[in-house]
Structure 1
Amino acid sequence: MDSQPIIANRGEFVDALRALKRGHVLVHASESWGGCSIDGGVVGSAFRTLADYALIDEFDNPDGFEHIRYYRLNRRGHEFAARALQDWSRRPLVERLAARLLG
């Protein structure tokens, strides 16, 4: 039985979803799961979760750099982000702060 991916840092994941939903691009500059950024901000664990849930697709960026991979939300990712961000905004502020502090 396949296990569901764990969202290691919910605050970072929500931030990544929000930025990607606004059209920002996730840049993956390393073969490891690290080495990612969105709009200059470091993305630690969110990349793996986005990939495991198949929310992002790689795209060809002819203006980009060689050996750098570029990702954006796919259709499923946009739908998921809309629901997740709406749910996140409905949660009490204390709960959102706790999630950011605890991961």
Structure 2
Amino acid sequence: MLITTTEAIPGKDYEVIGEVFGLTTQSKNVFKNIGANLKNIVGGEIKAYTEMLEESREKAIERLKQNAKDMGADAVVMMRFDSGSIGTDMQSVAAYGTAVKYK
């Protein structure tokens, strides 16, 4: 299934089906949180959290695709991400867009 951040798919005529979402909330284990807190003292990238965000985005896209598939869509246009923290060690990620069906 094609997922694009653009409004239009070149060469394709389609009708809008509706909004689609993929949501996830993830956290790292306590040991990785301790490592992240220590890294916070000296500065630099906290790789455990970078990995968590990458995993969260991948999971959100998987769920977005499934939501679109369940609606009978051929593609998703205008896909975006939104994210936010829940507490100090959880991250919520939403992938959302518009499901479309080719004519």
Higher relative contact order, chain-length normalized (CA < 8 Å, sep 6+): 2
With the shorter chain as reference, the TM-score category is under 0.3
Between structures 1 and 2, the one with greater helix share: 1
Between structures 1 and 2, the one with greater strand share: 2
